[in-house]
Structure 1
Amino acid sequence: MEIDGDDDYVEYVPVHKRRAMEAQKILQRKGKTSALDEDEAEKSKAQEAKPSLLMKATQLKKEVPEVSPTEQIVQQEKEMIEHLSDRKTLMSVRELAKGITYTEPLWTGWKPPLAIRRMSNKQCEAIRKQWHIIVDGDDAPPPIKNFKDMRFPEPILRKLKEKGIVQPTPIQVQGLPVILSGRDMIGIAFTGSGKTLVFVLPLIMVALQEEVMMPIVAGEGPFGLIVCPSRELARQTYEVVEQFITPLRDAGYPELRPLLCIGGVDMRSQVDVVKKGVHIVVATPGRLKDMLAKKKMNLDNCRYLCLDEADRLVDLGFEDDIREVFDHFKAQRQTVLFSATMPTKIQNFARSALVKPIVVNVGRAGAANLDVIQEVEYVKQEVKMVYLLECLQKTPPPVLIFCENKADVDDIHEYLLLKGVEAVAIHGGKDQEEREYAIKAFKSGKKDVLVATDVASKGLDFPDIQHVINYDMPAEIENYVHRIGRTGRCGKTGIATTFINRNQSETTLLDLKHLLQEAKQRIPPVLCELDDPMEEAEAIASASGVKGCAYCGGLGHRIQNCPKLEHQKTQAIVNSRRDYFGGGGYRGEI
């Protein structure tokens, strides 16, 4: 229906509105304020008193002080570290599920002599300052400057003297009293500083004490467990244990039986030792997990656990294996962790599981050994092999050459043999017999050169090496620190030559540049030319209290740009997908 004449159109007013208008007119005539106006006034007042969410947000933004870009980055880094540390990696599933926590350290009954116990805090601090030892933790035992006051049996003291170890190293001065007292400990010291003795000698004392109190019977044990990331390091640690057990047995002390529990060796021979009763086990994670899963061995009586090169073990590769091992403990244990590179994230993980831990730090975690002269040379990829022969002539043998991958190890080994160099090679792809022969021949001096992947970089002790060559610069600066630490051990000086070229990422090269700066070494022009973002990041470092990366310890980048963290995230995604394609089962250790 069409409306004729727009001028006559009157808008429809609802009935209640018309009534209100009429009431308004009557009230106006009487000269009174409209009740309706009052209602509206009250409503508007209420609205003013209760502002909208948009108004609130605007007011809050005005009130909050402006955050500087530096503070913003520091906050982001803090959140990232907290996010990485929220999983209690070193606690067993059983302990987490039942909420089991231990509040007091284990009692061992060991006490230092009275004169040392009576030392004041000021005297203790003076000794620590003299030896450059940093201690963090409650009620740390006093440092002891000689082995005799540590109350080791006479045969052990004689053996130390025989080996030429007359005075403890800084990590031993503080580390041995801490572990002998039964305290949990995180030990950080540069490579070649005598860390092995710090955890081996107290373990022998624990085993001896338990054996004297109640002799072990068939199928029992162990009392103590040492876990190492590689078979070679496990064998080396086992040999150190044997060196100190033999003189004790010869002197009439109870016999202690050690066991080397590694992959690549027939399990039956290892099970036979367990059947007799075993006191000390030195193991790699893969074989240890296998033995425990098949119930060939148990940790019911185990009260001492050492993770050697703990950062390597707690890394993604062995994280689950270590947690499974923790599941087999039936009671509280004393836990000690050792490494030359112990980034903040691993210290945070460790603190969640350790009981009142004491951190003993000799030098910055991840710092290079100052007894090593570091030489960095720019060498093009195609001439590396030829230049390697020239480098071998810098020092007399033995020389250690490190490569990133197995194929390069085999190529260099073959090339050196063709050139008449007495060389052996070792990597994860070789069988156990070949690996053992290579290490033995190199250590005994039959072979002059050992070509290896990072399997030989962690913890292995080659006392006479004067020269380490990095054929490739490793992607992670931690590996570089471990590699060059194979020389310059026990106070001797060594040389480390590293080949770099455009194949390396800028982050890795910046880490290397900062490490050389810290150790006051010569920096080659190719590294000086790099744009260094860390020069601008000094303000962030001072605000956060963390120099460099809190995740991997590299000095050339912050945690946001950490290549190791990126790699770990990628690996985690790959591993989470593996199950869909029929993956699984036990992972073989290095």
Structure 2
Amino acid sequence: MATAQKRTKKKDNQSDSSEEEDYTPYIPVKQRKKIEIVNLKKKLGISGGAKEEELMKADSSGNEGDRDDLKRWILDGSDSDSGEVKKDGISEQDLGPLANVSLLDQHNVLKKKAEAKKETDTEKMLKEEEKILERVARETALKGVAELAKGIEYTDPIKTGWRAPKFIQEQSPAKWEKIRKKHHILVEGEDLPPPIRTFRSMKFPQPILDVLTKKGILEPTPIQIQGIPTVLSGRDMIGIAFTGSGKTLVFTLPIVMFCLEQEKKLPFMKREGPYGLIICPSRELAKQTFDIIKLFGDSMANAGFPTLRPVLCIGGMPVKEQMDVINRGTHIMVATPGRLMDMLDKKMVTLDICRYLCMDEADRMIDMGFEEDVRTIFSYFKAQRQTLLFSATMPKKIQNFARSALVKPVTVNVGRAGAASLDIVQEVEYVKQEAKMVYILQCLRKTAPPVLIFAEKKQDVDAIHEYLLLKGVEAVAIHGGKDQEERIRSVEQFKKGEKDVLVATDVASKGLDFEGIQHVICYDMPEDIENYVHRIGRTGRKGQTGVATTFVNKSVDESILLDLKHLLKEANQRVPAFLATLESEAEKYLDIAGDVGCSYCGGLGHRIADCPKLLAMRSKQAQGIGRKDYLAHNSADW
């Protein structure tokens, strides 16, 4: 028993001694905080000192300038001298450098830091976008191979015999600027030609004026006021204006006058020409442009002027008929890139004396894959030429690389590139895929004919056409899969009013002018917003109003819907609820440094870094690497 007590006592003594070893004395909260601050400052490498003491006094003095110095010190970081300042028994080192700065001031400083960082991010994004644009411009420079190889550069524009009337030349530049401002014309370039507000003052002969009057064109539109004098002066030009603004006359009237001047000085011989070349992305647009030139040429010939011989070179038509005109000597050639390339490659035609080149709907041509063909066509020119680029949707990607081939270009801009006409009432409706076909009939009741219906796929065009015929609607259809004779016949029947509805793919959306179209129906939303602008631009032309109805549903890509949403806002149109609620993280970066939306495709719902069109283009290029060589190798084996 005694032994047990001794053991117990021994154990108690051992436990007491161990508790004494583990025992930590109580430290007051204030002292613990001081220790934590000191340890934390040691880790951060901050020490108190004379500088800190001075700033503390400056803060306590209440002077605003001193307080600003304190905040600047906080932003710059601490670099204090050694030493401590005691205050109520507590050193500045223990309390930290922000001890005398209120929480509100600390918050303001941190807020400024965040804003500065945000601005830095914005600048970084702008630099990245500039690099992307430069890379695109470098990859797609519009210069001929020979010019690039020999380093040929033209510094002065082509000289022409046209001069503005004396009374216009005597007007002050301030007067010209006032005219431009009145008509909302934006012009960039050196030695800008004057704007002229009447066709007669542009020195067009009476037969031309009579044709214009017969067509109901009494006064030039804004793009014509500045554009026609620019082209007549021999200047290279980039023309940007909304659909239906009369861009075609800007390049057709001058080329008619230039060719008449050349023919009068020295008649064209056999196989000579063309003097002017106009390239269009679609056969229908080329045919329309050719008809306009022929109309003006015939009116001049009937009035006793020399006869012009224009030629239309498009696929789907016999080459023999085209060669008959070329062999007699041709003044103006209107062509699509494919047929023109084929004729140049086979030496059926030369561009030795060609001094006038116009690319209508230039950006659409590049997007359709004719970029390499266009660059090759430039290589066939033997001397300097006057180059004109026109489109309703020409973002910076075209303007930037086009300038590499243009000499002191004049950019004439009427409205934002890619903007929809304000004369069009845009209606966007959510329609399920299976209900689209039936809903077309309801939409046709909105307005009287003629009506245009656009669809993305050829099979959809055929299905809609067949459905309308079954329902008793007088309709015709065109797309790339139909032969050229049928396409021409369908367009002519629709233009003459023999048919009420034209169903088409985007071949009919670029530049075609149909009289009195009151309603355009988009059966589906196109893959990019530029095609949408071209589609709805078939109505609301020449100052008239029109309606555009577009079907959308869940199958449409969100980035296209965002572009559509911002386009509707820009045109002051009603934005449907399902579009208004659509938001993305990128929307807060849409307006950076005054540059709204994407500088590559012109979409307002994203920036160039997130451009789906640029991504698709690069993906397409990546897929095509080595493909030509592979195909050439295998064709040689055959």
TM-score by length of 1: 0.86
- The counterpart of 2:610, out of the listed 561, 564, 568, is 561
Deviations along 1:334-373, one digit per CA (max 9) or x if unpaired, are: 0000000001010001111100000000000000011100
Task: Tell me the CA shift for residue 535 of structure 1.
Answer: 4.1
1:207 aligns with 2:286: no
Q: Which residue of 1 aligns with 2:454?
A: 402
1:552 aligns with 2:601: yes
Task: Tell me the CA shift for residue 75 of structure 1.
Answer: 1.5
Q: Which secondary structure does the structure 2 equivalent of 1:305 belong to?
A: strand
CA distance in 1, matches of 2:207, 2:358: 24
Deviations along 1:487-531, one digit per CA (max 9) or x if unpaired, are: 011000000000000000110000000000000000000101111
User: CA 1:88–1:453 in 2, change beyond 3 Å: closer, same or farther?
Assistant: closer
- Tell me which amino acid in the other structure corresponds to 1:510: L
Contact 1:225 1:305 in 2 (8 A): yes
User: Where do 5+ consecutive residues of structure 1 fail to align?
Assistant: 1-64
Q: Which residue of 1 aligns with 2:534?
A: 482
Q: Which residue of 1 aligns with 2:583?
A: 531
- The counterpart of 1:349, out of the listed 395, 401, 406, is 401
CA distance in 2, matches of 1:550, 1:298: 36
- Tell me which amino acid in the other structure corresponds to 1:197: L
1:70 aligns with 2:119: no
CA distance in 1, matches of 2:332, 2:630: 39
Deviations along 1:208-245, one digit per CA (max 9) or x if unpaired, are: 11111111001100110100000000000000001101
Q: Which secondary structure does the structure 1 equivalent of 2:596 belong to?
A: coil
1:82 aligns with 2:134: yes
1:324 aligns with 2:373: no
CA distance in 2, matches of 1:256, 1:276: 11
Contact 1:578 1:584 in 2 (8 A): no
1:266 aligns with 2:315: no
CA distance in 1, matches of 2:488, 2:379: 31
- The sequence identity of aligned pairs, in percent, is 61
- The counterpart of 1:542, out of the listed 570, 588, 592, is 592
Write the mapping of 1:369-380 to structure 2, written as runs, cut at 5 A: 369-380=421-432
Q: Which residue of 2 aligns with 1:147?
A: 199
Deviations along 1:520-574, one digit per CA (max 9) or x if unpaired, are: 0000001011114354115xx332x321000000000011111111111111122
Q: Which residue of 2 aligns with 1:570?
A: 619
User: Where do 5+ consecutive residues of structure 2 fail to align?
Assistant: 1-115
CA distance in 2, matches of 1:271, 1:498: 43
CA distance in 1, matches of 2:250, 2:586: 36
1:440 aligns with 2:489: no
- Tell me which amino acid in the other structure corresponds to 1:570: S
Write the mapping of 1:105-116 to structure 2, written as runs, cut at 5 A: 105-116=157-168
Q: Which residue of 2 aligns with 1:48?
A: none
CA distance in 2, matches of 1:542, 1:493: 33
Q: Which residue of 2 aligns with 1:451?
A: 503
Write the mapping of 1:353-432 to structure 2, written as runs, cut at 5 A: 353-432=405-484
Deviations along 1:303-335, one digit per CA (max 9) or x if unpaired, are: 000000010122360011111111111000000
Q: Which residue of 1 aligns with 2:69?
A: none
Larger Cα Rg: Structure 1 or Structure 2? 2
Aligned residues: 519
Deviations along 1:418-475, one digit per CA (max 9) or x if unpaired, are: 1111111111111101111110111111111111000100000012100000000111
Q: Which residue of 1 aligns with 2:178?
A: 126
User: CA 1:487–1:92 in 2, change beyond 3 Å: closer, same or farther?
Assistant: same
User: CA 1:160–1:381 in 2, change beyond 3 Å: closer, same or farther?
Assistant: same
CA distance in 2, matches of 1:227, 1:562: 28
CA distance in 2, matches of 1:573, 1:387: 40
Over the aligned positions, Cα root-mean-square deviation in angstroms equals: 1.5
Q: Which secondary structure does the structure 2 equivalent of 1:68 belong to?
A: helix
- Tell me which amino acid in the other structure corresponds to 1:553: G
CA distance in 1, matches of 2:368, 2:122: 31
- The counterpart of 1:93, out of the listed 112, 124, 145, is 145
User: CA 1:585–1:562 in 2, change beyond 3 Å: closer, same or farther?
Assistant: farther
Contact 2:587 2:605 in 1 (8 A): no
1:506 aligns with 2:558: yes
- Tell me which amino acid in the other structure corresponds to 1:122: A
Q: Which has the higher contact order (CA 8 A, sep 6+)?
A: 1
Contact 2:562 2:605 in 1 (8 A): yes
CA distance in 2, matches of 1:328, 1:531: 49
Q: Which secondary structure does the structure 2 equivalent of 1:145 belong to?
A: coil
4+ runs deviating over 6 angstroms: 583-586
TM-score by length of 2: 0.80
Task: Tell me the CA shift for residue 580 of structure 1.
Answer: 5.4
